[in-house]
Chain A
């Protein structure tokens, strides 16, 4: 059987046309006397034939229809349906510029608020701070010190 392993290798090499004349003779002589190796060679040759004759996976027409002239189709695609690719550094710079613009616009808007509105916000903040310790003790007993402090906060 060890001898057969050597000849099995020769059979495989023979299928790839890699055998020398001497090896071919040696193999033929062995095959005459070895049933196992004859069967091995026969099976391998059958499998080789089957692999070489594997059927077409799909009818050509169907595939051609699907593939079509896809390059032309892609070129004729409307502009809004085309895929746009932007390199990562360009996208990063654009994002930073947009963020900076947004922050600038937002900051400017807050700075440009009317003066009385800003004052009102400040006075309400002072009132909250003044009321905070009392409300922490007991919310019911809060007595407004002035008419203005009675406002609902």
Chain B
């Protein structure tokens, strides 16, 4: 995927508009999923994805891909989500409305979204990176600029907190 991203980005910089569309199609889904569950709103998630690709467009001719375009897009969407949440913290609480758009009648799926909503931003970010985005501990440590041990410890604390929260709903 990384090679295809690099190729498509080069083609886009040379003027191939369809190459950008291919990048968009390839990454839109996982970014939307992360940002929607991160912000607790599918509408906000859409805005985050749109903003992320707008920023990518603005990087035409000046973007240097160090690791991968996927990581660049993810970090961009993550930062934007966290910024929105920091602004929103003063106004309202996290209210997961993501389930409202889905056939999510299953009680367990409802439960996990409730538990996600009870986590703070950083905890939700970390657990979504690991479980939903499937980043490895090493990748997370690199992206977040912290040690692998720190990621392990934080993940353990979050899982423990989720376990305790889950017990309350039983």
Q: What is the interface size of chain A, counting residues whose CB is below 8 A from a CB of the partner?
A: 31
Interface of A is mostly: helix
A18–B131 contact, CB under 8 A?
no
Task: Please report which residues of chain A, range 77-136, place their CB below 8 angstroms from some CB of chain B when the two chains form the complex.
Answer: none
Binding site for B on A (CB under 8 A): 8-9, 12-13, 15-16, 18, 40, 43-44, 46-48, 50-52, 54-60, 63-64, 66-67, 69-72
User: Is B109 within 8 A of A50, CB to CB?
Assistant: yes
Using a CB-CB cutoff of 8 Å, which residues 121-170 of chain B contact chain A?
A: 127-128, 130-132, 134, 136-137, 152, 155-156, 159-160, 162-163, 166
| B20 lies within 8 A of chain A by Cβ | yes
Closest Cβ of chain A: how far from B40's Cβ, in Å? 10
Task: State whether A66 and B159 are in contact (beta carbons under 8 Å apart), knowing that A18-B152, A54-B37 are contacts in the complex.
Answer: no
**Count of A-B contacts judged by CB separation below 8 Å:** 100
Find A43's partner among B29, B128, B131, B163 (CB 8 Å cutoff): B163
Q: Which residue of A lies closest to B24 (CB)?
A: A67
Is the CB–CB distance between B46 and A58 below 8 Å?
Answer: yes
Query: Interface size bucket, B side?
Result: 35 or more
Does B112 touch A at the CB level, under 8 Å? yes
CB-CB under 8 A for A51 and B155, given A43-B166, A58-B32: no
Among B64-72, B73-81, B84-92, B100-108, the stretch that binds chain A is B100-108
B102 touches A56 (CB 8 A): yes
A16-B152, A67-B49 given; A55·B104 CB < 8 A = yes
Query: A44-B163, A57-B36 are known contacts. Are A12 and B104 too (CB-CB below 8 A)?
Result: no
Can you offer 6 A-B residue contacts whose CB atoms are under 8 A?
Answer: A16-B136, A44-B159, A56-B29, A56-B102, A57-B33, A67-B49
